[in-house]
Amino acid sequence: MTSKTARDDRGTAVTTHVHVVGFGMGPHHLTGEGAQALAAADYVLAARKGDGDALLDVRRRICAEHGLDLVEVADPERDRDDPADYPAAVRAWHAARVDAYARELAARGGTAAFLVWGDPSLYDSTLRILDRLGERMDLTWDVIPGISAPQVLAARHRIVLHEVGRPVHITTARRLPEAVADGRRDIVVMLGSERNLDGLRELPGWRIWWGANLGAAGERLLSGRVGDVLPGLHAAREAAREEAGWVMEICLLRAPERGSAP
């Protein structure tokens, strides 16, 4: 059973503090505030997703630059094949992560840090996991914002993410059809996959601004009408994966003008 609190060598309960640090896509995106938080940390906790985890290697580089030990925690298995009850699968995965991190934090105490891709506010589970850890441990935490993928996408393509006076909708690739059906016109799509690219065939007249591994080795960019650039997206995505060993992609989709072809 996990101890509720860490204790020093005299048996006194010790509060553990955690800095949640967004780091964009690598050491070059780490802000000054993020660097200060790492300077105040004793170690970094990170999930290890199997052997040859290229994403973990980026965290190792950051830790090396800041003289920090990286404590690797084996990431629990997760059903990634689009299960029928996706929310339940994610909840089970989060619960297993809470157990794994609680053991390390209770044993080590001190000040830990979590390095979060992009910004912790967008499609990342770290803050939800810390909420649950705080229910079972003497734990405090703060959040240092990072450079998000939508920000880098807009900067690379030199665009504004929304039309004048209109909203922008941010969603996942698996929920893109829902956003289109709801009449959204400017849609930032995150967490895409090779399979999701095929779904864009239904939107040949839409404009797309696409990027893979933005700000990292193997960065790729494409833009234009979906029907024109879709054949090249698959090749660009694979080229990004071959160069970096992994791929993260994002795009902005903009609906055609009213009355034109979808």
**Cα torsion angle, 81, 82, 87, 88, sign:** negative
Which pLDDT band, with edges at 50, 70 and 90, does 262 fall under?
low
Q: Is the pLDDT of residue 124 over 50?
A: yes
User: Sorting pLDDT into bands at 50, 70 and 90, what band is 94?
Assistant: confident
86-to-90, 121, 144, 198 alpha-carbon distances in Å: 6, 20, 29, 21
Enclosing H/E stretch for 220: strand 220-225
Q: How far is CA 71 from CA 26, 114, 200, in A?
A: 18, 10, 40
Q: Average pLDDT in the 61-89 region?
A: 78
**What's residue 84's pLDDT?**
61
pLDDT-based confidence at 2, cuts 50/70/90? very low
pTM, two decimals, is 0.84
How confident is the model over 51-65, as a mean pLDDT?
89
Q: Which H helix or E strand runs over 153?
A: helix 149-157
**Percent of the chain topping pLDDT 70:** 87
The domain ranges of the chain are: 6-144, 149-254
User: Does CATH place domain 149-254 in 3.30.950.10?
Assistant: yes
Euclidean distance between CA atoms 187 and 120, whole angstroms: 20
Q: Got the DSSP string for 62-74? A: HHHHTT-EEEEEE
Superfamily of domain 6-144: Tetrapyrrole methylase, N-terminal domain (3.40.1010.10)
Q: What is the mean pLDDT of residues 3-25?
A: 67
**More confident call, 53 vs 41:** 41
Distances from the Cα of 112 to the Cα of 12, 69, 116, angstroms: 19, 10, 13
